[in-house]
Amino acid sequence: MADRRTFLAGMLAAGLWPKPTWADAGNPAFLSAGLRQDGKYVLCGLDTQGRISFQIDLPERGHAAAGHPTKPVAVTFARRPGTFAIVVDCVTGDKLAELDAPQGRHFYGHGVFSREGDILFTTENDFETARGMIGVWDVPSGYQRIGEFPSGGTGPHDFKLTPDGQRLIVANGGIETHPDSGRTKLNIPTMRPNISVLRIEGSLVRSVTLTPELHKNSLRHLAMAADGTVAVAMQWQGDITERPAVLGLMPPKGEIEILQTSAAERQAMHGYAGSIAISDVGGEVAITSPQGGACQVFSVATKRMLRQRQMPDVCGVAASGTGFLLTNGMGTVAPEGADPASLATPHPVRWDNHLVPLTRRGCPPPLPSFAAFSHDPAAKHRQALTGRHTRETKGDGNSAGSPMLSGDALQASPDPPVYSP
């Protein structure tokens, strides 16, 4: 792989090779961080058969990654409360850029590209004020930070771009943390998780919460269906003997509906859903629990559990064909319904929490909502971020002149609280 990368890098530098695509990186379908047996952290591409397409060394443990929609480029994020994110060329293995969280911030391990791939969004913690933030980074200028806006809650973790590319759906887990306390959770008695629907320029469309008795069910990870339905994976922070259901579905115009299961099925998950995926082809949603060593699969239509699969330390899950692909901390990559006796030898990599599907697109037409903006991709976001609800940030570690929406800006606008499927 190294020789091939060296050859490709030389051809690209000489201008003798067409613009690279994901096929040049081994045609991966998924990304996953992991730990090799020699103690080195890596980011890997995996194909639909679970084979490693590429492997790139990381300086520290990664959590999740974001794949660029048109280029073989990925951004891998440090595990909370990490402050770095690394942009890598998945063909050559080169580090293209390194993102440092502004002073007083740390990343939450997740990021998402805009539909065109010109902007990267990151979930962040403003830990001195216990306020969640979304960072905005301009891709064409080398991932320069150009702005930020509130996430609409505390502890934003995972988030997704809606199918129309105009909204961000943010899982605000509700948990306050501070680097001085490591990963200690500081506000469990008063935590209030929510899902925020934000326009990509930062204004709030709507906020959805759970019922008061479930306020300790932290909303952590999301999966997005083609029709805009959001699947929500939760992690219970309350009495361990209670262990409520940890999967919900939220339609574009609706509230979060908890998918109920039996006491034994809830016990199997140990109150913890580590990752989630939704299959448009199969009409199913899957959640995993490394604590319980279990994967549960539900019907989206009936909202009933269909089956449960046991796999030690399972966490990564992604839709693949009509079913799901699973990864665990022992190096296994396997179809959710596979016979354990038929599985291939595990990889010499301890897979981390997430198996991230790659979404590949051509260059779509400009979004209708940006018709009045400049044709420069970053200018769209600069104009949106420096509108009437902004203030200039000074002395807080942001780039000079980096705009940020004020708290007043994060109020639901009069537009209908829906997004296009």
DSSP 304-327: -EEEEEE-TTEEEEEEETTEEEEE
Q: For residue 50, what pLDDT band results from cuts at 50, 70 and 90?
A: very high
CA 157 remoteness from chain centre = 8
What is the model's pLDDT at position 186? 74
Q: For residue 7, what pLDDT band results from cuts at 50, 70 and 90?
A: low
Its sign, for the CA torsion 228, 233, 236, 240, is positive
What is the model's pLDDT at position 184? 83
Q: For the segment 265-295, what is each residue's pLDDT rounded down to a tens digit?
A: 999 999 999 999 999 998 999 999 999 999 9
277 touches 237 (CB < 8 A):
no
Residue reference for tokens 């300790």: 216
Share of the chain above pLDDT 90, in %: 70
Contacts within 8 Å (CB) and 24+ apart, 334-339: 334/50, 336/286, 336/295, 336/297, 336/309, 337/307, 337/309
Residue reference for tokens 């009069």: 414
Q: Is the pTM of this model over 0.85?
A: no
CA 99 remoteness from chain centre = 16
Number of neighbouring beta carbons within 10 Å of residue 214: 19
| Dist. CA 350–CA 13, nearest whole Å | 34
118 touches 130 (CB < 8 A):
no
145 touches 399 (CB < 8 A):
yes
- The mean pLDDT of the chain is 84
H, E, C per residue of 236-268: ECCCCCCCCCCEEEECCCCCCEECCCCHHHHHH
175 Cβ neighbours under 8 A, 6+ residues apart: 154, 155, 185, 186, 187, 188, 191, 193, 218, 237
Say which CATH architecture domain 19-273+375-409 belongs to.
Answer: Beta Barrel (2.40)
Domain spans in the chain, listed from the N-terminal domain onward: 19-273+375-409
Phi and psi (nearest 5°) for 409?
-70, -25
